Each structure stands twice: as C-alpha cells, then as structure tokens.
Amino acid sequence: MRPFGEHRRRIMIVGEGPGEEEDKKGKPWQGRAGRLQQQALRDLGVDLFRDCVSLNSVNCRPIDDKGRNRSPTPHEVACCRVKVVNPAVESYAPKVIIPMGAPAVSSILGPLCSNALGDSIGKWRGFTIPIPEWGAWVCPTYHPSYVLREEKRNEIDTIWRQDIRRGLQLLDEPVPVPEDLRGKIKALHSEVEVLRAIYRAHDAELLSFDYETTGLRASLHKIVCVSFAASVDRAYAFMMPPSGPIPSAWLKLMARAKVGKISHNMKFENGWTRQHFGIEEINWAWDSMIAAHVRDNRIGICGLKLQAFINFGIRDWSGLIDPYLRAVDDRDPASPNRILEFIEQYGEDECLIYCGLDSLIAYRLAMKQMEIINGKDKT
C-alpha cells in the first residue's frame, strides 16, 4: 500500500500498518479506527484524504499465524522505513508529521533518536519535535485503534484529540533551521584565553556550566574539563589544571552571587564545586532537569540529550565519547571511567566540544523553559 492522499495542507499521517479492510480496498483508514480518525480531523477542519497524505510504518498488512492483525516487527519497520517512509518524507516534504502509535514513532524517529525510543507511545505522545533538516514538526500520539479499545476512558479520546490539535497548530509555525553546533563551541587552550573568558563571564546575568570528570564520586575523582555558556550562541570549554590561576579564577566566578548559575541536574555540579573549590553557597538560578520534570513528570524523558531532541531536534552528541564516560565497573560507584583514554585517543578538543555542547544546550533549554513558564513560548 503506497502513500495515499492529496496532501493539500502538507500534513502527513503515519499509522501502524494496513488492517483487513485497508488490505482489501488498497486504501488507508477504512475500518472503524479509520472512521474515527476521519471524524477527529474533520472536527478540526481537516479532510483526511484531501489535506493529508497517509502511510504506514509497514507497507503490507502484518498478520499472525491465525490470520489476525499483529504489530509489525522492528525489522519490518526498518525495511519499510528505507523503501517507503523515508522516500515519502523526502518527496512530500510535509510541514507536520503525526505518527500514531509506537511503530509509527519508531518508523519516523528511529534513526534520529534510536537510543531513547523505547517501545511505549506513552513516552512520546504530546511532544512537538522540530526536525530542522526536514523543515517539519513531528507530533506523536496514540493510534485511533487504541482510543477505540479504551473507549470507556474518555480521557484517552480527549488527550488524543488534543495531541492532534496541537500538531495542526504548528502548520504556520517556522521550524528551526539546521545549524553547526560544534562551531559554536570555543575550545580554550592557553591560560590567558581561559582567564579572559572566565573574567568576562563575571558580567553575565545567567551562566550554564558543566564538568567532565574521571568518575562519579567527587571525593575520589578529579575534574578533567569545564565548560560554560552565557548565551544561546556560544560556549567555552577548557581543561582544568589541578592548581594555579585557572582554578582560582573559576572559584571566584562560582562564588560570584550576581551571576545566576544554571545546570542540568545541578546536584552533580553543586557537589563537585563544593568538594573541589570549597564553595558552600552557589547562586543557583535554574536546574533544567528539574524544570523538565515539573513540565512533564513522565519517567525517562528528563535527560539532557532527550530534552535537546524533543525541544530543538538536536541529535545526541555523545555517540563517540559515551562508552568512555561509563564506569569501568558499573557496580562500583567509586570506579573510574575511561575519559582520559578518550582524550589520549581522540584529543582534548573532542572532549572539550562535547563538554561545551552540554553547557550550550542546557542554557538554551533553560531559556526555553523560562519562556514557557512565563507563557511566551508557542511550542
């Protein structure tokens, strides 16, 4: 079954797979779930077959050994993604993509956020995710067949319709343009460069910062490098020597009460700052992890990498370094990681860029969260 619909308003609806009725007629959304889908869109002023293009995570009807509908396998989804879904996204260039159900989300977002997908639509529904390279918003929600199965729970129908409405409201909302984030990180190598950047930061109103360390326990390990950002367009990162002018200058910045501090999971940076610089009181202005949890308390969605993706469409930047950040013995909290091995193999700059991206994205995320809380953000 090929993509179907006139796509007049650049809306792409992605389902799970053809059912029995769809398989017979060669056309999507023909059964009871399809009729519910058509009515829900009609109530919002959208014609499913004129205004949208519809396709599924798999091209053919998946059936079990008794001839009944079943969920497609990850392998089937991956195959049809290459042959049908990706070419459809490229050729139709939708402005809003609404994946309905977990297989549809995996089909659309799998290559972009594979490490965090999981197998539950409950983790993804309700998000409005910008994908800069597509110029599109991805707005996952339940499959209408699930809404029908839960018809005694009126809240499921309400949530489903709200998710669809939220996605349609983005048809006229610009999508962020692709950008070179690595180019926004300034790796500082000389002592003079570092000291100048730190002292300029004394004038910042808000400052996001991040540490990369040799392990989790501050009393047993050391700080390898530091990064900070005071704007959405630039972050600085430098290797932290064990003593000398740089640690002294950083201590003064951390102690400066006029500079509000931002971090993603501030208990880590707070503990390390106290342990290694002796600062008992830091002027914490914002914790973007706590704010993410306050906004949405679903389990497993508050990490910085996933928040970067669902808010800005920024893909996980830890792929190269991630194995080296894990403890050698993950059962022992005192176990060191392999970050020094990473630096030896790939160089200081790769470590500094990774650290700098943490600070830059945490700063951007905090700014957006503040706008949302103040009622200024539209997405």
Is the predicted pLDDT of residue 352 greater than 80, yes or no? yes
- Tens-place pLDDT, residues 118-170: 668 999 999 999 999 999 999 999 999 999 999 899 999 999 999 999 999 99
Is the predicted pLDDT of residue 328 greater than 60, yes or no? yes
- Tens-place pLDDT, residues 246-276: 999 999 999 999 999 999 999 999 999 999 9
* Cβ partners under 8 Å of residue 7, min gap 6: 51, 52, 53, 92, 94
How far apart CA 196 and CA 198 sit, in angstroms, is 5
The per-residue DSSP string of 106-127 comes to HHHHTTTSGGG--S-GGGTTT-
Tally of CB atoms within 10 A around 248: 12
Record the pTM. Answer: 0.93
- Give the Cα-Cα-Cα angle 318, 320, 326 (nearest 5 degrees): 70
- Tens-place pLDDT, residues 210-235: 999 999 999 999 999 999 999 999 99
Is the predicted pLDDT of residue 103 greater than 80, yes or no? yes
Is the predicted pLDDT of residue 378 greater than 60, yes or no? no
DSSP 28: S
Residues in the chain: 379
* Cβ partners under 8 Å of residue 31, min gap 6: 19, 20, 21, 22
Mean pLDDT of 71-99: 95
How would residue 62 be classed by pLDDT, with cut points 50, 70 and 90? confident
How far apart CA 298 and CA 198 sit, in angstroms, is 37
Angle between helices 288-295 and 304-312 (to 10 degrees): 60
Q: CA dist 20 to 23, 69, 74, Å? A: 5, 8, 21
Round to the nearest angstrom and report the end-to-end CA distance of the chain: 33
* Cβ partners under 8 Å of residue 207, min gap 6: 201, 228, 229, 230, 253, 259, 260, 261, 262
State the average pLDDT for the chain.
94
Is the predicted pLDDT of residue 379 greater than 60, yes or no? no
Q: Which amino acid is at 94?
A: P
Q: What is the pLDDT of residue 118?
A: 67
Torsion angle of C-alpha atoms 226, 231, 234, 235, degrees rounded to 10: 0
Going from the N-terminus, what domains does the chain have, and what CATH number goes with each?
11-168 (3.40.470.10), 182-373 (3.30.420.10)
How would residue 114 be classed by pLDDT, with cut points 50, 70 and 90? low
